[in-house]
Structure 1
Amino acid sequence: MRGLDDFLAECDLGPRINELSGFFAATAAGKSGMPIRKPVADARLLPDGDLLRDVVALHASRQGHFDQHYHGSIPYRLEEECRMTHAVVNYARQRGACLSLYSLGTAEGTMARTLSELSDGQIHTLSCSPNPENYQCFLGYGEPLHAEFFVGPFHRLTKDVLNTSPRLAKFACGFDFILEDTTFQMYSPNRTKQIEYVAQHLKKDGIFVFVEKFRTCDEDEYRRRERQKDFGFKARYFKQDEIERKKADVLGTMFNNEVTLTDMSEAIRAQFRYCAMTWNSGNFYSLAASNAKEHLSLYLSQMEEPAIPYEYVYDSSLPRDPSDDVATEQLR
């Protein structure tokens, strides 16, 4: 990777592990930022089925402190995480092979651990977080057989670390899935280099899933969606002074590192031929990309309909540059 040293230095200066480190440590330890009630997946929005019920139940029993804050902050993100988990388990069953998933920066790694337990080891997972408090939550339900945890920022999980760690060496050949969950936006707006760096850990036919908050071209529209999130959803879990405090202490810094959906599409196109939008909630989106069309199509085919009220959905497909050959698919 060209300019690797400069990129690593850029990440070392990222707000996530500097000015915002106190917020993340306190929230991961349950000392602040806790919702007044624990978010629960709305079963009315999810289709019926034994596997999906098992996903929702196990996920709920494995959550730590930060996940409760996170799922109380983003409208219907909990339902989407269960939907994604369900799709990955079914994808693995359809493939009939042992698969691996890397979840970078996803707090205590609830989704990853749920995947490993539900699949009985067919899916081996690795989660990472700079906060040891998240690792303590990860171990709070016992040490899982098929789920691992790296304590450190995503840019410090190198191939050398994977190759030399006895517990992580099984991932050195690459991952079938990588999930980036609102992580890049905590470091810098340099999506091209961030994706390039993490994609080195993805197998050639693997799938890279991104969950991010994006700027809109119209700042008034961005703010309108934020008000919808704050007053229509977050108010169920947080008092107004807590919402305002986070807006002042965290969200302004995060906004500086957000990019537009068009910017993100261009960065993805530098690495992947195929990409689909799979979820939208206000200013938050989920995208899935791969260079293996058949694998991406199989994953998309395992996804149930998005479990989110229609009024929170603003987009259903990625912006397309007619001059390139990247295939995009509709939201499913």
Structure 2
Amino acid sequence: MITDSNPDFVDSAMNQLADYFDDLARGKVQVPRQPVTTRIREQIQDQEVLAYHDLLVAQTGPLFAHFLASVPGILEELSHVGVTLARYTHERRKQDDRAFTLWEIDAFDGSSGRALAKYAKGAIRTLTNSPNKANQIHFDAHADKELCAFHSGSFLQVSREIVAQALDSQGLFRGVDYLYEMAAFQFYGRNRDEHLRGVSSFLREDGLAFFLEKLNQPEIDEYHRRERVKDEQHKSHYFSEEEIAWKKNAMLSQMKNGQILFSDFVEAASRYFSHVYLIWNGTNFYEFVASNNERSITQFIELLGQPIIPNGFCFEHPVVRVLSQPAAGC
């Protein structure tokens, strides 16, 4: 088992499930029975999103492939956001010609970060941390070490010195340009205030923070209805009924213990970010972007447009919308 001096990590589901995650990362259990690729390719009009998708799926490690097979629509969304971040960064570099930086929080073997760094052609350097050491095997096998770095350890162990050194920051470290939490917080309990306070301190003043969260619903029947949609219309393409049931018993109850409500997440995020947007939904999964700089987040949202979500998985209307912003005159 992974151990750490931080009591929040020792008691976390991430630590308690360490052996299970190790088996997933080594491809010993819960391996998708077919490659995970988009099933709506003909509906994606942006050829750059398709190119990014192909880059992303070409070098995924076992745990990231399992993740894509478990979350409906997330492959299309990561491709969409990746292209938008690259475009946004290239626009920013017209006034600020430097390498921008992204820290992926507990993001498996860095499949997403590696794809972004490669697609952006060096405009974005990425750091991925993971508490599961087996993920580094697949990171090392595929990463361009000039553009990507890996830290073996929970995000609770990551310091500003670790991030600055990994991203080769010269001079005074002002923080990263982008954060992306890859559905990690739910494995460390319900205290989103503490989680958000910690990671927000790593972000530059004009940076963007992305949070992928699996959330509870006010009505338990609605939560289970969306879970059935996920299992029957997405996961069934990649796993047997027995595998889906086994994962529910072995893992999902632990995850649910760390999930919170949509309103609770927005309330916590609003304490650390003056602007919070919802940008995607897939059954009980949600993606948010937040910033303390209105110009930065407005420019990103304008470039982003509407998400690409396969039919049947979106339960939010409208999807892209502002959830929190300063009151007029503030």
TM value normalised by structure 1 = 0.90
Q: In structure 1, what is the Cα distance between the partners aligned to 2:138 and 2:245?
A: 27
Equivalent in the alignment of 2:68: 71
What are the superposed Cα offsets for residues 25-61 of structure 1, whole Å, 9 maximum, x if unpaired?
Answer: 1001111110100111231232232x32321221121
Partner of 1:313: 314
What is the match of residue 170 of structure 1? 169
RMSD of equivalent CA atoms: 2.0
SS at match of 1:189: coil
**Counterpart-to-counterpart distance in 2, 1:147 and 1:317:** 30
1:110 shift after superposition: 1.0
Q: What residue in structure 1 maps to residue 213 of structure 2?
A: 212
Given residue 59 of structure 1, which amino acid in structure 2 is its aligned partner?
L
Deviation at 1:325, TM superposition (A): 3.2
Shift of 1:81: 0.8
- Where in structure 2 are the equivalents of 1:124-203 lying within 5 Å? 124-141=125-142, 143-162=144-163, 165=165, 167-170=166-169, 172-203=173-204
Deviates more, 1:128-137 or 1:216-225: 128-137
Contact 2:53 2:75 in 1 (8 A): no
Unaligned runs of 5+ in 1: 1-6, 328-332
Is contact 2:100–2:125 with CA below 8 Å preserved after alignment? yes
Describe the superposition over 1:136-185 as per-residue Cα deviations: whole angstroms up to 9, x where unpaired. 1011125432111111000100124345x4x4452843111000011000
> What secondary structure is seen at the aligned counterpart in 1 of 2:198?
helix
Please give the alpha-carbon distance, in whole angstroms, between the structure 1 residues aligned to 2:219 and 2:201: 34
Q: 1:178 to 1:205 in 2, by over 3 A?
A: same
Name structure 2 gaps, 5 residues minimum.
none
Q: Corresponding residue for 2:258?
A: 257
Shift of 1:310: 4.0
Residues 1-332 of structure 1 mapped to structure 2, 5 A cutoff: 8-17=6-15, 19-41=16-38, 42-49=40-47, 51-96=48-93, 97=97, 98-141=99-142, 143-162=144-163, 165=165, 167-170=166-169, 172-315=173-316, 316=319, 325=326
Q: Please state whether the residue corresponding to 1:72 is helix, strand or coil.
A: helix
Distance 2:25 2:258 in 1: 22
Mapped to 1, the partners of 2:322 and 2:80 lie a distance apart of: 24
Which moves more between the two structures, 140-149 or 284-293? 140-149
The one-letter amino acid of 1:33's match is Q
